[in-house]
Structure 1
């Protein structure tokens, strides 16, 4: 995963990291967002329908080993599971294609993103950090010119009863190309075999500070955890380069295959520190869309990942 050469992109990524650190504190060895997490391993088995969508290598094989990371929001590595700020949750998936060859999916439990570009996201964070009781506050002013950011913030983000009972959404669209060279845009949607289940606010507050991580550890000890990896396919004319735009629910869903998680990753804390997930697929058959968030997210992930690896072990 190379560092981009665009100096403006690097500067923006560094500014984003500095702003996040200023708001949440710098926690050495942890991610600036989604600091608290847990990693599992397993396999991906493609569905028969997947070849109509993409010629990616993990679609043409009988199965592919995977490593996944479930996580909670914020940069606080000890955030309690019953803290509303720990939502939305996230799921990152790495498909191991060969030694040092992989492709990733990064998804969140809230569909979409508050801003279209990295620069707008920086402005959003700065407005949030500088807001006080004054009216209109800097954040009020930002929302007045960015109504989709307000809509994202106001979208309910309930806690799941389990990481294994949450639906996760790819933030940005990708272009999927099949063996005939036919390309279609789509967004990932990852659905739990156990069914989606959320807790109301009072029930979530009554839970313990580690209830999600404890539940997942107990669940994986009893047997495999299953998810279906779907792609919501855009219609011609749908906007594919703006993560703040939702497509109608009548857009078709193509099943790429089944994710089966079977084990906790040994030396979990060390492995979480070292793995750097990549929002850009970098694999034949799945291409990045023109969404401007992709490059800046990849740069932030890489810069923060390198910083994380340099931190001493806790």
Structure 2
């Protein structure tokens, strides 16, 4: 009887189990699947009978998985990813493509990488729909939950199931109003840490590499302003004594009203392209990953010719 119940489980039910496990919520899962919460509850109850296990229980207002559930989801994730890969067409024609792709990224990538990618997509695959979502520091989770197909950013997941490709190398520079006295001389460590800073605090536990270098040196900045993104930082600095530490390619986009200086803590970092097993063998995603890499390589080559 148990075997008959198990064989009656379909892929939609397995996907529901995976989503409840990852979201720790029946309500969130129902929203993702665009169904009523009662439908999710019914599916979980069916799976409880099929696997002869409680699967989930409530603790402190949260939905927690049993040990058996965690083991099941690990295997189910592989099954679902493999099945989705099998369902993909064996070939991909960009000129006739009508699919949608979601890219998780942040302000830097939307300024430096995404515009070139969009232009290339519009030229070669005009029917392809691109959606971007904020990755903050949880882009890997969005990939695992299938809320994004591709992640572009400075955080490379270390756990299994992710594929990574380096896109470009970056470092930090300092920007300030061109009338600032600091714009007339090399920026020393002492001048840097005592100057009033417009600090970009990205949130989500993320701490920029240059701040980590300062921590290791036992130093801290004179924080006068804190903002959650580099967006609009140039207008906040103009006409003030503030300086900001930002990625060099963002700074290169500002006009001559802002002066750019070498940062005493340049703290190099890397922007990566990240994806999962779910899309690894997909012809469409293979094409897209090559397009992104090629677009970035072209940009880097153009930047090198200008310097």
Shorter chain as denominator, the TM-score bin is under 0.3
Provide TM-score, normalisation by structure 1: 0.21
Larger radius of gyration: 2
Comparing both chains, which one has the higher relative contact order based on Cα–Cα distances under 8 Å and sequence gaps of 6 or more? 1
TM-score for both structures, normalised by structure 2: 0.21
